[in-house]
């Protein structure tokens, strides 16, 4: 009995020493984005053009094209109005950003947002959006710097335990690795 107890204690001690990171998978972030994150904004140039954009379909690809970046596909609806009329369309943005962990919130944000591409349906409307792209990019960048793409859940014992002990954030293909201190 004593032998089993010592063996169990040694196993837990060794296991505790090697357990110094927590992984957040691409699918966990995508689930969080689906349930928690939606972007809606009204933008425009007064008297010339106005638009209302809603992005509610977001998918991440972690560390696939650049080692320290997350790519984000964001899709939704865009309504553009001008003196010439109104147009409803589907829009899809491809973006790249650097993930950043904020310890006191236990949250991961996206910083240094870079617009990779914009596609619209119908496709011929995309060129007319060129004047609005810098404004869209700036608004979405601000939104993602203030809205987490993942938050450690304090109701989950393992996530609550590491929230304040995180040392850094590493990007690996398909997951974010969160190294933390045991003590």
Domain with residue 127: its CATH number is 3.15.10.40
Once rounded to an integer, what is the mean pLDDT over residues 77-82? 87
- Domain span at residue 85? 21-179
Quick check: 15 pLDDT over 70? no
Confidence of residue 44 (pLDDT cuts 50, 70, 90): confident
Please state, rounded to an integer, the average pLDDT across all residues of the chain: 82
Q: Does some domain include residue 26?
A: yes
Q: Does some domain include residue 8?
A: no
Predicted local distance difference test score (pLDDT) of residue 17? 35
Q: Does some domain include residue 151?
A: yes
Quick check: 135 pLDDT over 90? no
Q: Does some domain include residue 133?
A: yes
Determine what percent of the chain is predicted with pLDDT higher than 90: 37
Predicted local distance difference test score (pLDDT) of residue 7? 41
Instruction: For residues 24 and 11, give the distance between their C-alpha atoms in angstroms, rounded to a whole number.
Output: 25
**What is the number of domains present in the chain?**
1
Q: Does some domain include residue 164?
A: yes
pLDDT digits (tens, 9 = 90+) for 149-174: 999 877 777 776 776 777 778 999 99
Spatial strand order in the sheet of 21-25: 21-25, 175-179, 170-172
Instruction: For residues 159 and 95, give the distance between their C-alpha atoms in angstroms, rounded to a whole number.
Output: 28
Q: Does some domain include residue 12?
A: no
52, 107, 155, 158 from 137: Cα distances, Å? 14, 22, 34, 36
Quick check: 77 pLDDT over 50? yes
Global pTM value? 0.79
Q: Does some domain include residue 1?
A: no
Once rounded to an integer, what is the mean pLDDT over residues 68-97? 90
Q: Does some domain include residue 4?
A: no
Once rounded to an integer, what is the mean pLDDT over residues 111-136? 80
């Amino acid at each position: 009995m004593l032998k089993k107890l010592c063996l169990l204690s040694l196993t837990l001690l060794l296991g505790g020493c090697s357990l110094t990171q927590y992984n957040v998978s691409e699918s966990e972030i995508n689930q969080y984005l689906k349930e928690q994150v939606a972007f809606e904004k009204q933008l425009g140039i007064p008297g010339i053009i106005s638009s209302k954009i809603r992005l509610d379909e977001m998918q991440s690809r972690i560390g696939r094209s650049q080692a320290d970046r997350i790519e984000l596909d964001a899709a939704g609806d865009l309504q553009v109005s001008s003196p010439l009329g109104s147009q409803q369309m589907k829009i899809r943005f491809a973006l790249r950003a650097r993930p950043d962990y904020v310890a006191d919130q236990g949250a991961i944000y996206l910083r240094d947002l870079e617009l990779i591409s914009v596609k619209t349906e119908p496709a011929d409307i995309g060129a007319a959006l060129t004047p609005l792209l810098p404004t869209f990019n700036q608004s979405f960048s601000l939104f993602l710097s203030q809205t987490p793409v993942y938050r450690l859940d304090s109701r989950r014992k393992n996530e609550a335990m590491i929230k304040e002990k995180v040392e850094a954030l590493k990007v690996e293909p398909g997951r974010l690795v969160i190294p933390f201190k045991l003590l």
